[in-house]
Structure 1
Amino acid sequence: MNLPDTILLDIFSYIPLPERWLVASVCKQWYGVCHDPYLYRHVQLDNLEYRTLVLALHKLVGVASRVKSITINGCYSRFIQDTIVPVHFSNRAHNTGPMLFSHLTALQPHRRRDEYLKHNFDLHDEFSNMFTQLLCNNSTTLTSLTVQNCSLDLEMTELFCSIACHAHALESFTYKDNHDKGIHSSGLLQAIVTACPRMRHFHGSHSGMDDAVLLTISRHWVSLESLTLCSLKSRDVLNHAEFISEGRQLTGSSPAGRVSGHALWQLLEKCPKLECLELYDLACISNRELAAFNALQAMAMRENERQQQEQTSRDPAASVPVKRFTPYDIPKSIFTNKRRNTALRTIPGSSIRQLTITKYVTTPLSKPGFESLLKLFPRLNRLQYETNFQTFDNLFEVITRDMFDAECLAVKEWCDERKDQLEYIGRWNADITAEQRLMAGMASVSEGA
């Protein structure tokens, strides 16, 4: 007995791609159901090898025209994962001296591109073509895009350019843990911000984030609800050191402080719906900067009080209670004079409910900093803070383990006193990061010199 198409649609929705298309050959009815665009409103591509992923995208281009969300999770390339290439120094002949080898993904972009051409690896171009076409076909319906836990070297594709050109209805974008630096171009980030004005959730550690991008976000994403900010190649951005093309230099960190306190304050001021913030190793989050934020917040509150007093003085009737029965007394000027917009501004920081802060290579917070945090975010419900002893040891000369433990305990006790209104998750003994090891090695070399 044949099942109705509606029942088959529900059953086939649980079959992962691309196995779903294998059942299409069973009969004509199943073929029709498997090619129904309704079945591809939410596309989930999990744990696919690069070639299989490209073939799945090619199939989706032909059948999916009402896509609302796309999730690419855990996809990988065996070639990219396993390829080791020789690295030659420019100051010596290639056939002399010891030969060095490097993993393919550790090379600079132009060197990786040369290696892909040498090995006839063209999946990046095929991915770009299929993904761009898929976004173009669903430019008015696609609202959510997630790419995470992938090892595909997506920096070689046109993924981000396709988003800027065709994903104008996007409301949620997550790009994280893909073994790269995220969107490393400030200009490309700005292009995405201006092209996607409906964005509400934007997550991912992008090394191109700076003041210019953040100010653009403040102007265009007025409905923003959650945001991830990272201006450093911390553990969440780069899990290994990067070997520069000819082997001359080893780098592991980008310039600190690319996101200033001024830009962060503009974000809090211009995005009144912002509820969730993830701040990874921002130099502008320190005891001193937070105290400055408190002063700006106090000024904003005084300005609101002044506007409220002016509004009351202009309209004395507003402070007089209205009686239940009053005669109709409509002033003649009500039809000729328009009342000025006297709505009070939202106090910056008052909308934040969840906050995540990590400190590994920038100045960590102490108890006064946490006190300033709660003043800046008075409605904060959940605070997660992550650091380790190496952070304090690298940035302060006289710090000891006992002093570090005492500070950790003082912050915990202070937060426990407010546990009815604040959920505090403190990880003060997180593992040392690769960047911290690199910084410690550089410091030891300079001291030895």
Structure 2
Amino acid sequence: MAALSDLPDSLVLEIFSYLPVRDRIRLSRVCRRWKRLVDDRWLWRHVDLTVCRMRPKIMWHLLRRYMASRLHSLRLGGYLSSGSQTPQLSPALMRALGQKCPNLQRLCLHGADLSMVPITSLPSTLRTLELHSCEISMAWLLKGQYPTVLPLLECIVLDRVPAFRDEHLQGLTHFQSLRSLVLGGTYRVTETGLDASLQELSYLQRLEVLGCTFSADSTLLAISRHLRDVRKIRLTITGLSARGLSALEGMPALESLCLQAPHITLEMLSLAEIISCCLTMPKLRVLELQGLEWDGQEVERILCQGLPHCLVIIRACPKESMDWWI
């Protein structure tokens, strides 16, 4: 069996890419070849630091020594708790990311306290911003507050951000490059706020609304009124009826539709209603149903027969989505 030293650099780099950052750095001390490989730009394009909380000193070292201009996407996590021994995300670190990492396009923050981090300190090169279980300042996304911030932002994910509300949703309208919006468990957003915001976000091409407090019917009605060019929809079906689904009839650009819930039953929708609605969408190519209580194989057979031009996907509800109903 070949030893690791016999493998070409490309395969060794692929193996190193699956290792935590701490282990990568330790490997650089093994030999000159591994040090050279750990320094390779390819290895530091996508960095995941959610597995452990890095002390500020280590974060600054990584930024200067390894990431810098190589970095394209970064995941950080575990900075929500307060205390003298807990590392905190600071405005200085966010500004340094923008200055030293000119190619950074995606930033994912998990469990981070951003209440003292102004949105203006985030890297202006970001195209994707994901906030998962984060605290944000009330002034972060208010309409008209910072009209020139994040000019390239195309996708924003707001997953269980408790402070996020209608005012913040309306503030997203100044991101003229925004094409993808994901709302997950944003329980302070109302049906009225969603409808008013989508009216100004008519250029969205992807919308996901998961585990929010308003009904699926109201979401689909708002989408049909304001997002005629939307290509991908994913939503939980709480409060979904045949009337709500019929709001999508004739959507001219819709390519992918995903209906998701812990339990989808025939009392909510019939297969005939789903097929009838989908046949009116000229570009629909993917139909996904998650959380079925039906006979999956039989349902898939009927839907495939009724929608021959669609890829039909039937699957259980993802575990991470279940959290929104607990």
TM-score of the aligned structures, taking structure 1 as reference length: 0.51
Query: What residue is the counterpart of 1:384 in the other structure?
Result: 258
Find 1:413's aligned residue among 264, 267, 272: 272
Task: List 4+ stretches of structure 1 deviating above 6 A.
Answer: 430-437
Q: Which has the higher contact order (CA 8 A, sep 6+)?
A: 1
Distance 1:11 1:434 in 2: 38
Find 1:352's aligned residue among 207, 214, 230: 230
Find 1:135's aligned residue among 94, 97, 117: 97
Structure 1 or 2: more helix by fraction: 1
Q: After superposition, give the CA deviation of every residue in 1:374-424 in whole Å (9 maximum; x if it has no partner).
A: 34x3322222223467xxxxxxxxxxxxxx9443342x3222343693533
Distance 1:12 1:196 in 2: 33
Partner secondary structure for residue 22 of structure 1: helix
Q: Give 1:198 deviation, angstroms.
A: 0.4
The structure with the largest alpha-carbon Rg is: 1
Aligned partners of 2:69 and 2:101 also within 8 Å: no
Partner secondary structure for residue 151 of structure 2: coil
Instruction: Confirm whether residue 18 of structure 1 aligns to residue 22 of structure 2.
Output: yes
Partner secondary structure for residue 245 of structure 2: helix
Q: Give 1:142 deviation, angstroms.
A: 1.2
Instruction: Confirm whether residue 42 of structure 1 aligns to residue 45 of structure 2.
Output: yes
Query: What residue is the counterpart of 1:165 in the other structure?
Result: 121
Q: Which runs of 5+ in 2 are unaligned?
A: 1-7, 294-316
Aligned partners of 2:205 and 2:229 also within 8 Å: yes
Query: What residue is the counterpart of 1:260 in the other structure?
Result: 194
Partner secondary structure for residue 25 of structure 2: helix
Find 1:147's aligned residue among 86, 109, 115: 109
Q: Which runs of 5+ in 1 are unaligned?
A: 1-6, 78-104, 106-111, 234-253, 298-347, 390-403, 438-449
Query: What residue is the counterpart of 2:240 in the other structure?
Result: 365
Report sequence identity in percent. Answer: 15
Amino acid at match of 2:274: C
Aligned partners of 2:209 and 2:235 also within 8 Å: yes
Distance 1:183 1:428, change over 3 A: farther
Structure 1 or 2: more strand by fraction: 2
Q: Give 1:366 deviation, angstroms.
A: 0.4
Q: Give 1:185 deviation, angstroms.
A: 3.6
Distance 1:293 1:173 in 2: 23
Q: Give 1:62 deviation, angstroms.
A: 2.2
Partner secondary structure for residue 154 of structure 1: strand
Distance 1:130 1:45, change over 3 A: farther
- Residues 224-233 or 21-30, more deviating: 21-30
Q: After superposition, give the CA deviation of every residue in 1:178-232 in whole Å (9 maximum; x if it has no partner).
A: xx3x34444213468742110111113233333333333223x222221112463
Q: Give 1:357 deviation, angstroms.
A: 1.2
TM-score of the aligned structures, taking structure 2 as reference length: 0.67
Distance 1:156 1:184 in 2: 5
Distance 1:384 1:407 in 2: 18
